[in-house]
Amino acid sequence: MTIEINHDGPVGWLIFDRPDAGNAIDAQMFVDLEQAWAELDADDTVSVIVNTGNGRSFQSGLDVVQLAQDSRTIPVLIICDAAMLAERAFELGLSLSIDSNVDNPTTKANEITVLDVPLANRCVSGVLDVANADAVVSALDVAIDGCLNDRYQALVTGPIQKSLIQESGRRFSGHTEYLADRCGVDEVVMMLASRDMRVALATTHIPLSLVAETITKELLERKLRIVLRSLQRTFSILKPRLLVSGLNPHAGESGHLGREEINIIEPVCSMLRDEGFNVEGPLPADTLFTNLSRRSADAIFVMYHDQGLPVLKYAAFGDAVNITLGLPFVRTSVDHGTALDIAGSGLADAGSFGAALTMAGRLTFDVADEI
């Protein structure tokens, strides 16, 4: 077992137990962790669960070596500065051999294949350097081009420091918008998904003051059709049930708190219902995420970023996956930012990155196990 469980009265201790590897998460630890949580959760005498690690590190992130150890593993190509990756592995006490045969990514134990995109300057953990912004975007471009040319089957991205890229003189509001532009698609939808919830957004990274004017009948129809089509084709849900939030408090209270529901959202939902889609809304956002509502839905569609994502991240932070719907290939990502304050410290939780890899495998290859 890679997880140690101890009981101390009402306190249950869940302890990472790979001290020689900095308690890095490997494939076995994913399995052991789920079993350990289930055991403690089922114990009625346990009121509090404390998570810690044996050795010097609490938990040093995902053990990249484990990405290619299992015989069921899909080959994974890492696109980054190879020297930086080797340096981080050394700092965290991970054994890592870097292979450069990008045409045939290795599946051997203790190896990972890297397509080297060198940084302009050496990367110091937690320290931003605008000189490296071009390399960050270049790595993303290489990955996008490979997916568009069918060289790669899916794209999994880590967090990105948007401000750094903007400071370099580029217009960049986020992965989602950049991917849409590079792929030449008119519309994409940002969805975050966990085991129990899928939340899709009508608008993404724009100021709250611009949300109301951005939401039009035309935009909602395009976005909702992408979500419904993706639930059918990508998630294999033949007749998805989609809940749609209102924009205003209490979904406008019959027009007394705003008329966007009456003039924009309801007509679009009604049109889709007339076409046979199971679309319910507009619904008040303050009760939309109750257990009864969300458990009966295949996805929830909200009007703006902070209307839906705080709920999902509260319920599943670290286990949720960011999925871009409407692209010509599968793209998943983590559900969090760069966490510069703990970069290189060994304190990062790689659960969301592992979940993003697993989700990409499931959506692309129908793979059920962790990659």
Task: Encode the chain (371 residues) as per-residue pLDDT tens digits.
Answer: 788 888 888 888 888 887 766 566 665 676 677 778 778 888 888 888 887 878 765 655 554 434 433 433 578 899 999 998 888 878 777 777 888 889 988 777 667 889 999 999 998 888 989 999 999 999 999 999 999 999 999 999 988 888 999 999 988 888 888 999 999 998 999 999 988 889 999 999 899 999 999 999 999 999 999 999 999 988 889 999 999 999 999 999 999 999 999 999 999 999 999 999 999 999 999 999 887 666 789 999 999 999 999 998 888 877 789 999 999 999 999 878 888 887 777 777 777 787 888 888 888 875 444 43
Kindly report, as residue ranges, where domains of CATH 3.40.718.10 are found in the chain: 186-326
Burial class (CB in 10 A: 0-12, 13-18, 19+), 149: exposed
Q: Please name the CATH architecture into which domain 186-326 falls.
A: 3-Layer(aba) Sandwich (3.40)
Kindly report, as residue ranges, where domains of CATH 3.30.300.220 are found in the chain: 1-59
Q: Is 196 helix (H, G, I), strand (E, B) or coil?
A: coil
Quote the pLDDT of residue 354.
Answer: 79
Quote the pLDDT of residue 49.
Answer: 80
Length of the chain: 371
Quote the pLDDT of residue 15.
Answer: 86
Helix 133-148 and helix 175-183, axial crossing angle in degrees, nearest 10:
50
Quote the pLDDT of residue 21.
Answer: 60
Quote the pLDDT of residue 315.
Answer: 85
Q: Which residue has the tokens 């909200």?
A: 302
Q: Going along the chain, which residue ranges are E strands?
A: 3-8, 11-16, 48-53, 77-80, 97-99, 111-116, 154-157, 189-193, 198-201, 241-245, 278-283, 299-302, 321-325, 330-333
Q: What is the CB neighbour count within 10 angstroms for residue 274?
A: 8
State the DSSP string of 125-169: TT---GGGHHHHHHHHHHHHHHHHTTSSSEEEE----HHHHHHTT
Enter the CATH code of domain 1-59: 3.30.300.220
Quote the pLDDT of residue 31.
Answer: 67
Query: Does residue 228 contact residue 221 with C-beta atoms inside 8 Å?
Result: no
The CA-atom distances, in angstroms, between 308 and each of 191, 239, 324 are: 10, 23, 16
Quote the pLDDT of residue 63.
Answer: 47
Token output for 277: 């889609």
